Amino acid sequence: MRILLLGYGKMGRTIEKIALDRGHEIVGRIDVDNQHELDTIEADVAIEFSGPTAAFENITKSFERNIPVVSGSTGWLSKKHEADKICNETRGAFFYASNYSMGVNIFFKLNKFLAKMMDEFPEYEVRMDEIHHTEKKDAPSGTAITLAEGIVENLVRKTAWAATEGIAEENEIGIKSFRIDSVPGTHTVMYSSPIDDIEIRHVAHSREGFAKGAVLVAEWLAGKTGVFGMDDYLKF
């Protein structure tokens, strides 16, 4: 499979290594200095981790060139509905996930299940912490936002999330973000009561889990049209 990399930072390089190990060909590496090359490259799929400022343009330009896109950039999702619309209008293929780690996606499901259980116990207050490397440009992380949205769907007393260093509003899930050198990603969901605390946590040890998941999804997307997410891929 001919893969175009949109974004060639640490994640792009990790994806490249895994893709080559699986027998794929890297036909282009688009970064801030050579975005014009996207106008001419032919590829079977693009894997996009270009970041919040470049993601939308890179994704939609790929649709115009009939290149399916697997995207993992966060911080641009206010435009995702528009990207979905362009994908459908061009009869393209678009797969978006805030996190491609299989472990994280199991964690997403566990988070929703726990939130549904805790709806019966209003004495527990919920909050979240997320830790990433200092090069991460957005906060909270896309993974933290996905976790918060999963709680809002299942915990009636919470209707929104908020990035906060202090105490969130009563209806909000407070998310604290920390940036520490060389931390791939740690997410903790905490339920606290006057009597005890309950925590669930996912700790990534490297970027390889995220990168391998993106390559596996790119293989799965071949020959498909439409807009997809992890529920379509995992079917659980």
Distance CA 149, CA 158 (A): 10
Query: Which residues, 6+ apart, have CB-to-CB distance to 97 below 8 Å?
Result: 71, 72, 105, 213, 217, 229, 230
- Report angle CA 100, 175, 54 to the nearest 5 degrees: 50
Choose the catalytic residue: 24, 61, 109, 132. Answer: 132
Choose the catalytic residue: 36, 85, 109, 136. Answer: 136
**Can you read off the two tokens belonging to residue 103?**
């472990």
CB burial string 25-54: b at 16+ within 10 A, e below: ebebbbbeeeeeebeebebbbbbbbbbbeb
Asked about 24 being catalytic, the answer comes back as: no
Q: How far out from the chain centre does Cα 214 lie?
A: 10
**Can you read off the two tokens belonging to residue 1?**
């499979």
- Contact between 126 and 155 under an 8 Å Cβ cutoff? The reply is yes
Asked about 132 being catalytic, the answer comes back as: yes
- Contact between 63 and 25 under an 8 Å Cβ cutoff? The reply is no
Could you list the active site residues?
132, 136
